[in-house]
């Protein structure tokens, strides 16, 4: 998910525990040439986004509420990226919540180690919270009126094993420009009988396919956008397979990852999968047909989900729908 190289500003991060002084690494975080000089963006200008590169050994998981990304590093060890508006309740409240999670008492004074970002005033802080059984490493980045959290949750005994990868993860963080934060858009031509409805928080577009016949179930079509390459095809397909209670695929050359076809907007990967067990009443199976369209800065994911017979009957329309897409 990295961006093209941009002018860099040095970021020095002091990592000091109560009992020993550790080596102080230097981070370099990419900042756009139009870096702001105030915490909040100018009027009508969206906040700058953050980008990062996760280590190849980390496995993507389905993010939870407020999370942008979630990774499984090893059994019982996760790394999460979250974003909230404003100060997200304040630094003290968040750090004391983490302290409680690792079995530590709340602290009256919450300082952390400062993260100094040259050419851009910052109140970013780094925290290391060691409990008897679990520990947390976390960095808090206030950027343009939003607060970003990068958090490692690990058993204390495994903390030093997980630390290097997490530090590399933080070093990969990039701050983009406000122009890059503008919402992506795409032109679509839906089939006549598909009914457009409210998109929800995470969707760019949603459609309902009206059911026909007794006990029929409406189909659901979704379109979402993801920054950059949107993760690997294998990771995305395994998320969809999990929704159908199918086992994950292990290799990125598995034929079940679908086929690639061309469209006016670029190469499209098409995938079709059916549940191995009935997930609807009357012993009916569920199915998902999906498509991945990468346009450079944005990856578009299209999905039709529902009863297997309905999905199969509408798949030709779905493929044509995806092929009409024109990114703007």
Which residues lie across from 153 on neighbouring strands?
A: 78, 136
* pLDDT at residue 98 in the model: 95
* pLDDT at residue 181 in the model: 54
pLDDT, tens digit, 9 for 90 and up, residues 223-248: 988 877 777 888 889 999 999 999 99
Average pLDDT over residues 91-119: 82
Average pLDDT over residues 35-45: 48
Query: Residue 24 above 60 pLDDT?
Result: no
**Other CB atoms closer than 10 Å to residue 302's CB: what's the count?**
24
pLDDT, tens digit, 9 for 90 and up, residues 66-97: 788 889 999 999 999 998 888 888 889 999 99
Pairing assessment for the beta strands 77-85 and 113-117 based on DSSP bridges: unpaired
Query: Residue 220 above 60 pLDDT?
Result: yes
* pLDDT at residue 32 in the model: 42
pLDDT, tens digit, 9 for 90 and up, residues 133-191: 999 999 998 888 889 999 999 999 999 999 999 998 888 887 776 655 566 778 888 89
Query: Residue 120 above 80 pLDDT?
Result: no
Angstrom distance (rounded) from CA 91 to CA 192? 50
Q: Which domains does the chain have, with CATH numbers?
A: 8-181 (3.40.1000), 186-327 (3.40.1000.10)
Q: Give the pLDDT band (50/70/90) at residue 119.
A: very low
Candidates 30, 33, 32, 37; CA nearest to 8 is: 30
Segment of 44-58, 144-158, 221-235, 260-274 carrying the highest mean pLDDT: 144-158
Determine the Cα angle at 302 with ends 203 and 263, to 5°: 130
Query: Residue 34 above 60 pLDDT?
Result: no
Candidates 226, 186, 192; CA nearest to 209 is: 192
Q: Is 224 in contact with 185 (CB distance < 8 Å)?
A: no
Query: Residue 280 above 70 pLDDT?
Result: yes
* pLDDT at residue 69 in the model: 85
Query: Residue 2 above 70 pLDDT?
Result: no
Higher pLDDT, 133 or 254: 133
Question: In percent, how much of the chain has pLDDT > 90?
Answer: 38
* pLDDT at residue 10 in the model: 31
* pLDDT at residue 328 in the model: 65
Burial (CB count <10 Å: 0-12, 13-18, 19+), residue 108: exposed
Determine the Cα angle at 145 with ends 139 and 150, to 5°: 20
Query: Residue 117 above 60 pLDDT?
Result: no
Angstrom distance (rounded) from CA 2 to CA 227? 10
* pLDDT at residue 15 in the model: 31
Average pLDDT over residues 117-137: 79
Q: Give the pLDDT band (50/70/90) at residue 18.
A: very low
How many helices (H) and strands (E) the chain has is answered by 4, 20
To the nearest whole number, what is the mean pLDDT of the chain? 79
Query: Residue 22 above 80 pLDDT?
Result: no
Query: Residue 200 above 70 pLDDT?
Result: no
Q: Is 293 in contact with 325 (CB distance < 8 Å)?
A: yes
Query: Which own/partner contact pairs does 293-296 have at CB distance under 8 Å and 24+ positions apart?
Result: 293/263, 293/265, 293/266, 293/267, 293/268, 293/322, 293/325, 293/327, 294/229, 294/230, 294/266, 294/267, 295/265, 295/266, 295/327
Query: Which own/partner contact pairs does 306-313 have at CB distance under 8 Å and 24+ positions apart?
Result: 306/209, 306/217, 306/218, 306/219, 306/220, 307/216, 307/217, 307/219, 307/280, 308/274, 308/275, 308/284, 309/284, 310/209, 310/211, 310/216, 310/217, 310/219, 311/219, 311/272, 311/287, 312/287
**Other CB atoms closer than 10 Å to residue 132's CB: what's the count?**
9
Query: Residue 45 above 80 pLDDT?
Result: no
Average pLDDT over residues 118-126: 62
Spatial strand order of the sheet with 59-61 comes to: 50-51, 174-175, 26-30, 8-13, 113-117, 125-130, 134-143, 146-155, 77-85, 67-74, 59-61
- Per-residue DSSP letters for 106-175? P-S----EEEEETTS----EEEEEE-SSEEEEEEEEEETTEEEEEEEEEEGGGHHHHHHHHHHHHHT-EE
């Amino acid at each position: 998910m990295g961006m093209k190289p941009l002018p860099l500003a040095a970021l020095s991060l002091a990592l000091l525990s109560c009992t020993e002084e550790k080596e102080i690494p230097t981070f370099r975080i990419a900042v756009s040439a139009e870096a702001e000089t105030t915490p909040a963006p100018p009027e009508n200008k969206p906040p700058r986004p953050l980008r990062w590169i996760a280590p190849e050994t980390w496995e993507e998981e389905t993010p939870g509420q407020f999370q942008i990304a979630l990774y499984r590093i090893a059994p019982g060890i996760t790394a999460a990226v979250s974003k909230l508006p404003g100060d997200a309740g304040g630094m003290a409240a968040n750090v004391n919540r983490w302290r409680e999670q690792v079995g530590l008492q709340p602290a009256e004074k919450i300082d952390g180690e400062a993260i100094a970002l040259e050419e851009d005033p910052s109140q970013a802080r780094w925290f290391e919270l060691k409990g008897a059984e679990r520990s947390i490493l976390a960095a808090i980045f206030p950027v343009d009126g939003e607060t970003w959290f990068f958090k490692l949750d690990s058993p204390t005994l495994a903390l030093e094993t997980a630390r290097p990868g997490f530090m590399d993860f933080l070093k990969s963080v990039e701050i983009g420009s406000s122009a890059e934060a503008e919402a992506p858009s795409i032109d679509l031509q839906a089939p006549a009988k598909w009914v457009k409805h409210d998109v929800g928080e995470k969707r760019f577009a949603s459609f309902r396919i009206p059911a026909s016949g007794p006990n029929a179930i409406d189909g659901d079509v979704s379109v979402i956008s993801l920054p950059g390459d949107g993760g690997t095809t294998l990771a995305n397909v395994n998320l969809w397979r999990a929704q159908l209670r199918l086992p994950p695929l292990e290799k990125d050359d598995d034929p079940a990852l679908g086929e690639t076809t061309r469209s006016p907007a670029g190469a499209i990967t098409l995938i079709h999968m059916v549940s191995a067990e009935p997930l609807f009443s009357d012993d009916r199976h569920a199915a998902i047909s999906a498509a991945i369209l990468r346009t450079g800065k944005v990856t578009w994911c299209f999905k039709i989900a529902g009863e297997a017979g309905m999905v199969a009957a509408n798949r030709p329309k779905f493929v044509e729908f995806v092929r009409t897409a024109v990114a703007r």
